[in-house]
Amino acid sequence: MTNLLTLTRMRVRLALRNKMFFFFSIVMPLGFFFLYSGVFAKGIPREVANLLGPVLALNVMGSFWGLSATLVMFREQGILRRFHVTPATATDMLVSSILANYTLTLPTVITELLLAKFLFHVPSLGHLTAVFFLVSIGTISFGSLGLVIASVTNTMQETQVLNQLLWLPLIFLSGATIPFTYLSTLVQSIALFLPATYLVHGLKRAIVDNKGPLQLLLALGSLSIWFILTLFLSSQLFRWEPEARIPRKAKLYVAATAIPFFLLGIWENKYGRVIAEEKVAVQRLDEAARAERRAKQKDIQQDPDASDQNDSDQKQ
């Protein structure tokens, strides 16, 4: 335990000195937050609340990118070799990486929630306990994905290519950037096999619908199982030396980590629970927008002077 805590503190210090980790863990998440809240949601509290789930999910998912790149860089520069001569084990190194990543990700998430509440005046942040569990389990599970990527790639170039190949489907098919209901039926069916889909969906339901952990148990459970599988695999493939190579067959083991979401995707494609809930959420938002427009029109009819004043203000 002492080795683990010492390594975690050291990893936090090293991460704070790393420009790449700083960008993917702090700069990029806050950039996404202000883009979504200020531009896409136009600062409307209801719209900000609806987009807050995808924003937090992007923050959580992005952690795998910086973590994988950092570990590969450490191995190429011989930094891991120095850790190898200490009493620390491979498991200590991997778990400390996840804990350090979590320690650095959580403050950014809290900052985004506070900005949504006090800067954009979101009336309710939903079920905060469920949000905390989803962010926590999502951060460590996607962080473990970063460990697997660092374990199966040999160079920084390979790592960046694999990160790109994984990152694009995660953000475009999960509903984090493009609304899930806007995707074609075929693409929705494919997206149901991705872990990011359940993270985004769970965060949206926790914030907008105020659902608790028990109501989101499927997402929490699948992400937890995925974390255990990816952590175990990365511990088996971990390498201290840059000269060490893993057999090509070992890379096929990575597919085994997708088993929970392969089974969940089959189940969801059969019963369509996630798709149905997303459609209901969109309908509810449309109804709220129409009700708001009707209320404004009613106010204008009751107070024509206010309408003239609004027109005057817009012209100015």
Burial (CB count within 10 angstroms: exposed 0-12, middle 13-18, buried 19+), residue 287:
exposed
pLDDT at residue 303, as a whole number: 65
- Domain for residue 307, yes or no? no
What does the pLDDT look like over 109-135, one tens digit per residue? 999 999 999 999 998 999 999 999 999
- Domain for residue 41, yes or no? yes
pLDDT at residue 1, as a whole number: 66
For residues 290 and 204, give the distance between their C-alpha atoms in angstroms, rounded to a whole number: 21
| Backbone angle region of 246, left / alpha / beta, with phi > 0 → left and psi within -120 to 50 → alpha | beta
- Domain for residue 75, yes or no? yes
pTM here? 0.88
- Domain for residue 166, yes or no? yes
Range of the domain at 239: 2-302
Burial (CB count within 10 angstroms: exposed 0-12, middle 13-18, buried 19+), residue 56:
buried
CB 154 within 8 A of CB 76: no
CA distances from residue 163 to 102, 229, 255, 308, 316 in whole angstroms, order as listed = 19, 19, 16, 54, 49
* Mean per-residue pLDDT, 166-188: 88
Number of domains in the chain: 1
- Domain for residue 19, yes or no? yes
* Mean per-residue pLDDT, 128-155: 91
Question: Among residues 108, 121, 125, which one has the least CA distance to residue 58?
Answer: 108
- Domain for residue 16, yes or no? yes
* Mean per-residue pLDDT, 182-196: 91
Could you tell me the two tokens for 1?
């335990």
pLDDT of residue 46 exceeding 80: yes
What does the pLDDT look like over 193-242, one tens digit per residue? 999 999 999 999 999 999 999 999 989 999 999 999 998 888 888 888 87
- Domain for residue 101, yes or no? yes
Note the residue count of the chain.
316
pLDDT at residue 314, as a whole number: 46
Q: Angle at which helices 273-302 and 45-61 pack, to 10 degrees?
A: 150
- Domain for residue 315, yes or no? no
SS3 label, residue 100: helix
pLDDT at residue 196, as a whole number: 93
